[in-house]
Structure 1
Amino acid sequence: MDIFDFDRCKGQLSNHRQITISDNVGSGGVGVSPSSQFLYVSYSNYVFQYDLWAEDIFATKDTVAVYDGYQESNFFSTRFNLVQLAPNGKIYINSPSGVRTLHVIEQPDKRGDACDVRQHSIPLPNFNASTLANHPNYRLGPIDGSPADTLGIDNLPRAYYRIDRNAEDTLNFHFQDLSFYEAGNWSWTFGDGGSSSDRHPDHTYAGPGIYEVCLTVSNSRGSDTHCRTIELGTVSSEDPAPLHFSTFPNPVQNVLVFDLGDYLPLNGQFKLYDAVGREVFTQQVLYRQARFNLSHLKAGVYFYSFWDQGREIGRGKVVRGE
């Protein structure tokens, strides 16, 4: 592996550093976290993390994932191959074999095991071998005041973020900053009186409710605010609000998408029953949209019910096609 400093204004490489990952040829790839601090190197059975901000980068090597042996169809391995940072701030890793899953690094800006590598956790609609979508960094922005900034376009920050949820404590949320154009300060309000100046804060709500979460980012050239509303388990048992759920595709072959509209369950459960009322599938739902792999079910008509906070709040019909 070769690492260089890169002057993107002059197009020059410098400060060459090199290390041998292995004496054997194998599949692999590299990717860099959103903050540019951590370098991820995948090599067949391993994913390594390096700190690019350290004086001795190679001394910071940390093994953050080891291939767990999972195979599809009891033959095709899901070892680690190409690595790609996506616009949502996550890093995705494919496999050298033809499989229907991707690996994902949920929090690539966190050190060590906290980066949360989840193996073969992203289902794909079709088999994929050795290829991975490319996401050019259109949000890099200019170098203010440099010869490379001949158009005089300033880095006016744009606020944006991602919401992740704790599956064990469904009132706890992690807010991942995805702002661009060199934001330098972060100010969060969570809609319940809470606030934070951390870049990637965690916040726990006291209970169900409608909360407006706002992030304001700023630098020396300006500021920007982005707000989103969280409707957290707001259906009342005394006066239930009308909810509109949808399933697609329906009829379905393998993967069913369940869309809850604006509703964010506190701790939802999707249950599927066959024609005689036997429960054949159940899965927790924590977000406004969920995906269910129903490829193991026989063709036929099924009925679903959706539960939250111990109450059934929706039902419908699903057809599993031939």
Structure 2
Amino acid sequence: MKRIVFASLLLVCTFTSAQLRTNTWELSGTRIPDYRNKQNLTEVNFITGFADTLTVFRQMSFFITNSSISDSLGNLLFYSNGQWIANRNHDSLENCNEFNAGYSTDQYYDGRGLGFTQGMIIIPHPDSIFLYDLFYITTEKKFKYHHNLYTEAMHLSHSVIDMRLDNGLGAVTLKNEYLIEDTLIQGKLSACKHANGKDWWIIDHKWNSTIFYTWLLTPTGIEGPYSQSIGSIIINDFGPGEAKFSSDGSQYAIESNYDYFIEHYNFDRCTGQLSNPYKFFNSTYLVNDFVGLSFSPNNEFLYRCSQLNIIQYDTKVKNFFNYPDTVAIYDGTYAPFPTWFSMTQLALDGRIYICTWDGDSVLTYIDNPDIMGIACSVVQHGIILPYLNNESIPYFPNYDLSPLGNYVADAGANDTINKGQTIQLGIPPVAGVKYLWHSDPTLSDTTIAQPIASPDTTTTYYLIVTDTSTYSSCNVREDTVTVFLDIADAVHIPKPQNHGTFRVSPNPVSSWLNMIYQSNDDAVFELFDAFGSRKATINLYHYFKNRMLDISALPAGIYEWKVIQRGKSIAHGKVAVIR
């Protein structure tokens, strides 16, 4: 593991603050050569609760790659076309010179912007109101593969912007840091909040491979890359096609237009792992049949855009790709070019907006995307833009995604009783939570929140709670409570220091080892072989409840694990690795 230190619901009167991160959209490209000077271009603003089109005087032009972010009040902070960054005054952000230097920026594309779908993501840094992390692809010169020439992303790059600098206009403080050097697909970067509601998963796909790469952005830095081989090979990744998470982060879908498929997955926000790949392949090899996709705000429907159709899938139905519902067919309008459908973005007003393929002065939108069938109401060319938009629409992750689960594993407070007395453990039950106490004959019931304990000696009781409202690897939490027995003459047994609880699962294990824990302080998990040689280590942050460790490369055998906190071993055990 490499470690590097360094919003769609509409309220009638107002939005919540996190949602306003996506308030301002900078659009428009220019087909004239004078793109180096400021000119009148398009901005879309949702502060009133509806899409309001404005004219802004700025220099930056867009060609597909488009990323921006606003503050908590909806005021634009900065934006980028993948080649340079502009501040809210539409001037160059301080220290953004040579931003994203590489073949595509310097040679292949001119200054109108990069041509990669979802080529950049902007993420507010966890636990900071001033710092913003930028993730973007950096490409190198074309190379040959099977007699075809390819320009591939060779790096996922990272920069940091500090909004305290340049009198509040912001400046780049960390620039063009490579997080990986490998052949990646052209764009389709996506991000989803971790189950803790604070950290962020960043996901990308390796070119000519089934491998997904993920990184975890935390308050102290970036963890990863982690790799997972799953799903289909992506080779012909150039051109259109999107990758999106559902609003709740439980689903993920990715298109490869010139590989003629879309693939749907389940996503685990705790581990960053994908599962259950489900693919639709167009055996007719229809060109430009996979150019855009979005999930509905209620997470039930997946919309796929081809140039000529918009198709709705009900993801609650088994094998849903077998039941496409065409909710719109291109109506033949020119504005001034054919208003074919292209890329999509869910907006603050709950609509899904769709830019056009050829760069027109209109946007299409799905008015009620939570409704099944044609009642979702696709309004073609329903938004008139003041200027041409060069096939560009911003990509936003769900900045307002909440943590998973609101339950707490609480076995109650440690206490002392006299011999022969009983005591009630735990706290009042929470709806939707299952309780399981480790089997103990001194408990009245092991499946309720507050059993009666009648110990005849000092006893520690273990409670496991499971949140049944969500399916993920971190819907299980654990706590302990110790009942001390007053033996005679009010002599109390000293209470040991509580370092927390730690356990591993499964045991035996063959691939991913799950560390499940509760602790008020950070710790380190270490794994040793039979000869005492350390084979793996991972940080256990106190704000997590579990961490995953890939042990698939370790040979079979019995391994010892230890948890180190403040330089001392506070827990240990053994785990069997099988092959």
How would you bin the TM-score normalised by the shorter chain?
0.3 to 0.5
Q: Which structure: larger Rg?
A: 2
The TM-score, its normalising length taken from structure 2, stands at: 0.24
TM-score (norm 1): 0.43
